[in-house]
């Protein structure tokens, strides 16, 4: 499930006869920073903490300058934490490549050690699209039966909080709806069903043996 040498970008080996790449791309580093590493939320937290710290100093009778200094003391730590998380998001995005062929989904990832996870369509029980702001989004893939992939092994390219039944995720896709359409078409053409994509939980299910045109279901109002 791992590969350091790539005869084809993002793939551990040459494609077998009859298999072809339908789509290949990388996650957006900002989408990873925002939705996987929660950088904006952490920035808000540090901002609130800094203001609260200054107000507490002022409330306790400290001079205005001392209260302001107490707030500003938080800034270096906040900037360091945000910079580290942003760097991790950028490195993860730079190392990752998502590939959809007419037979499988392949996820290559890993900063220090490059790993590749192959997900043949016959392993995929369900798939769902969650759209986020700006057209970005994630596609989670539920696996059949007892097939398991370690949660920490694939993080951040897994659906959060699914420890017992890990769901690999194409996370931080810049044009998620377009990728969902391609995946849905590949599943239908391969005889595995259709992916109805919605941008809210719960995720849509791939219904086997259902032959229909791939489509995106509008977001419920």
d(CA 133, CA 154): 24
pTM: 0.80
Q: What is the pLDDT of residue 201?
A: 39
Structure tokens at 216: 């995106």
Output the average pLDDT for the chain: 83
Question: What is the total residue count of the chain?
Answer: 221
Reply yes or no on whether the pLDDT at 4 is more than 60.
no
Reply yes or no on whether the pLDDT at 133 is more than 90.
no
| pLDDT mean over 45-56 | 92
Q: What is the pLDDT of residue 187?
A: 87
Confidence of residue 161 (pLDDT cuts 50, 70, 90): confident
Confidence of residue 207 (pLDDT cuts 50, 70, 90): very low
Q: What is the pLDDT of residue 195?
A: 54
How do 124-131 and 137-143 pair as beta strands? Answer: antiparallel
Sign of the four-CA dihedral 44, 45, 49, 50: negative
Q: What is the pLDDT of residue 27?
A: 97
């Amino acid at each position: 499930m791992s590969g350091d040498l790539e005869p084809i970008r993002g793939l551990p080996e040459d494609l077998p006869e009859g298999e072809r790449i339908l789509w290949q791309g990388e996650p957006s580093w900002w989408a990873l920073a925002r939705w996987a590493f929660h950088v904006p939320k952490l920035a808000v937290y540090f901002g609130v903490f800094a203001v609260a710290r200054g107000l507490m100093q002022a409330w306790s009778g400290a001079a205005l300058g001392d209260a302001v200094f107490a707030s500003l003391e938080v800034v270096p730590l906040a900037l360091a934490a945000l910079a580290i998380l942003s760097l991790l998001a950028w490195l993860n995005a730079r190392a990752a490549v998502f590939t959809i062929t007419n037979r499988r989904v392949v996820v290559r990832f890993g900063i220090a050690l490059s790993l590749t996870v192959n997900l043949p369509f016959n392993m995929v029980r369900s798939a769902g699209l969650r759209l986020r702001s700006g057209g970005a989004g994630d596609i989670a893939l539920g696996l059949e039966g007892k097939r398991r992939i370690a949660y920490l092994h694939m993080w951040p390219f897994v659906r959060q909080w699914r420890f017992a039944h890990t769901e690999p995720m194409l996370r931080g896709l810049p044009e998620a709806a377009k990728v969902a359409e391609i995946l849905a078409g590949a599943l239908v053409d391969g005889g595995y069903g259709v992916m109805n994509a919605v941008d809210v939980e719960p995720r849509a299910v791939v219904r086997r043996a259902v032959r229909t045109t791939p489509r995106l279901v509008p977001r419920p109002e």
